[in-house]
Amino acid sequence: MKALISDQIGPPSTLRYGDLPEPLAGPGQVRMAVKAAGLNYPDLLMIEDKYQVRATRPFAPGFEGAGVVDQVGEGVTRFKIGDRVLTHGYWGTMAQKHVAHEGDMVAIPDDLPFEDAAAMPLTYFTAHYALTRRGGLQRGETLLVLGAAGGVGLASVQIGKALGARVVAAVSSQEKAAHARANGADETLIYPTGDALDSRSLAAVFKAAVGERGADVIVDVLGGAYSEPALRCIAWYGRHLVIGFAAGLTTLPLNLVLLKSCQVIGVVWGQWARRFTDESWPDKEAVFALYRQGLIKPEITERHPLADGAMALTRLSERKTAGKVILLVE
Ligand SMILES: NC(=O)c1ccc[n+]([C@@H]2O[C@H](COP(=O)([O-])OP(=O)(O)OC[C@H]3O[C@@H](n4cnc5c(N)ncnc54)[C@H](OP(=O)(O)O)[C@@H]3O)[C@@H](O)[C@H]2O)c1
């Protein structure tokens, strides 16, 4: 089968389009003929061996995708050949065929296009889990989203609005701010980028945007020099959701946590969905319901054939993309 292949550690330029042996569905597993695969920041970590979980080379990257079941292994109860599904895992969807345990597959509604389904797991399921189960976001609360034009960020903006919050989107450019507003953000702020970030002045920018009461919930996918200034603008009893480190690993001073009686909460959606699979089904249905009501919609800005996957991942790594990038697989 055709696949995007990582056979050496490195950036997207090390990936090649070629042939891998077609996988077979073992006991409890389901094979999907992939129609669309979503690109995510963690794909970059995976091909550089910087992700928490490591793949054995050669492998096809791809945490998420959607397609049609074309083989079921022994003992599979939830799926049959021909079912439309999406999947989430750590690698393998940037290929014509993908095998996963049936617990990592989700049946998708007939009216959900493959490319929208492929764009959902890492961004929408993560954002929904973060804002509801972990952050307890309430109607009328103020939500500050860092990296708001990225995958998890934009999904958080849309879901935050759908849940009735006032959404403040923090991004790096006017163009990305317009993008966040078009996706429902009530207000936007532009944060500076680069190495010479001044923590106090960045905190002042955040405070001015969220208002005197502070942010009730913060979606933090950036880390780096952004987390502490963001925490400085949190409201009393606020929830700072630690989701990712696109701008680098970081630490937080605990005195700030004490001063606001706030919570700093870790969020790892994929592992939660795997450990508590049964608990996660209603959440996935809740995301589909928001989609059906027109309250959320993946903002797919780029579609590329599988053969151009290395180029597409390079664009993601250079922060040239806004919204979601999808690979179409035939
Ligand atoms: N915990 C979980 O369950 C979970 C699930 C999915 C993803 N994640 C993590 O969440 C983070 C974001 O993922 P994503 O898919 O939303 O990524 P993405 O689409 O690439 O978005 C990340 C955003 O971060 C901003 N950014 C700021 N500084 C950056 C830097 N130095 N390098 C790259 N981007 C920078 C960029 O926006 P600006 O240019 O506007 O700053 C970009 O839009 C990643 O760390 C990922 O591993 C965690």
Which pLDDT belongs to residue 319?
Answer: 85
Query: Separation of 34 CA from ligand 1 center, angstroms?
Result: 25
Residue 152 CA, closest ligand 1 atom number? 16
Q: How far is the CA of 42 from the centre of ligand 1 (A)?
A: 8
Residue owning tokens 């987390």: 227
Question: Which of 185, 201, 248, 193 is CA-nearest to residue 221?
Answer: 248
Max Cα–Cα distance, the chain, nearest Å: 59
Residue nearest to atom 43 of ligand 1 (CA): 150
Atom 31 of ligand 1, residue of closest alpha carbon: 247
Ligand 1 atom with least separation from CA of 45:
47
Ligand 1 center to 280 CA (angstroms): 23
Which structural domains are found in the chain, ordered by start? 2-120+298-328 (3.90.180.10), 123-269 (3.40.50.720)
Count of positions (residues) in the chain:
330
Please report the atom of ligand 1 found closest to the CA of residue 51.
Answer: 47
Q: Is the pTM of this model over 0.75?
A: yes
Q: Treating both helix axes as pointing N-terminal to C-terminal, what angle do 174-182 and 151-162 enclose, rounded to 10 degrees?
A: 40
The whole-angstrom distance between residue 94's C-alpha and the CA centroid of its chain comes to 16
Atom of ligand 1 nearest to the CA of 272: 3
10 Å CB burial of residue 55 (0-12, 13-18, 19+) is middle
Give the Å distance between the CA of 201 and the centre of ligand 1. Answer: 22
Give me the residue label for tokens 């393998």. Answer: 92
Please list every protein residue whose CB sits less than 6 Å from any atom of ligand 1: 40-42, 122, 126, 147, 149-153, 171-172, 176, 221-222, 243-247, 267-270, 316, 319
The Cα-based distances of 43 to 61, 89, 202, 269 in angstroms read 6, 11, 29, 16
- Torsions phi, psi of 65, nearest 5? -175, 175
Closest CA to 37 of 21, 55, 60: 60
Phi-psi region of 2 (alpha: psi -120 to 50; beta: other; left: phi over 0): beta
Cα of 9 to ligand 1 centre, how many Å?
Answer: 21
Strand partners, 281: none
Check residue 197 and give its pLDDT.
77
In ligand 1, the atom with minimum distance to the C-alpha of 270 is: 3
Best mutation site among 183, 243, 275 for ligand 1, i.e. most ligand atoms within 8 A of its Cβ? Answer: 243
- Residue 215: Cβ within 10 Å count: 28
Whole-angstrom distance, CA of residue 79 vs CA of residue 71: 9
Residue whose CB lies within 8 A of the most ligand 1 atoms, among 50, 128, 222, for a mutation test: 222
Distance 275 CA to ligand 1 centre (A): 24
Q: Output the pLDDT for position 207.
A: 97
Which two tokens mark 74? 């022994």
Query: How many CB atoms lie under 10 A from the CB of residue 113?
Result: 15
Residue closest by Cα to atom 11 of ligand 1? 244
- In this structure, the dihedral spanned by the alpha carbons of residues 171, 121, 2 and 43, taken in order and rounded to 10 degrees, is 40
Paired sense of beta strands 300-305 and 263-266, if any: unpaired
**Atom 22 in ligand 1: residue holding the nearest Cα:** 150
| 184 touches 280 (CB < 8 A) | no
The total of other beta-carbon atoms located within 10 Å of residue 311's CB is 12
Structure tokens, 188: 């936007």
DSSP conformation class of 91: S
The per-residue pLDDT string of the chain (330 residues; one tens digit each, 9 = 90 and over) reads 999 999 999 999 999 999 999 999 999 999 999 999 999 999 999 999 999 899 999 999 999 999 999 999 999 999 999 999 999 999 999 999 999 999 999 999 999 999 999 999 999 999 999 999 999 999 999 999 999 998 899 999 999 999 999 999 999 999 999 999 999 999 999 998 876 678 889 999 999 999 999 999 999 999 999 999 999 999 999 999 999 999 999 999 999 999 999 999 999 999 999 999 999 999 999 999 999 999 999 999 999 999 999 999 999 999 888 789 999 999
CA of 247 to the centre of ligand 1 (A): 8
Phi, psi of 188 (to 5 degrees): -130, 155
* Dihedral sign for Cα atoms in the order 58, 50, 273, 215: negative
> What is the rounded CA–CA span in Å between residue 266 and residue 102?
26
Q: What is the pLDDT of residue 213?
A: 96
Q: How far apart are CA 48 and CA 54, in angstroms?
A: 9
Are 108 and 85 in contact by the 8 Å Cβ rule? The answer is yes
Q: Looking at ligand 1, which atom is closest to the CA of residue 155?
A: 16
Pair 63, 123: CB distance under 8 Å: no
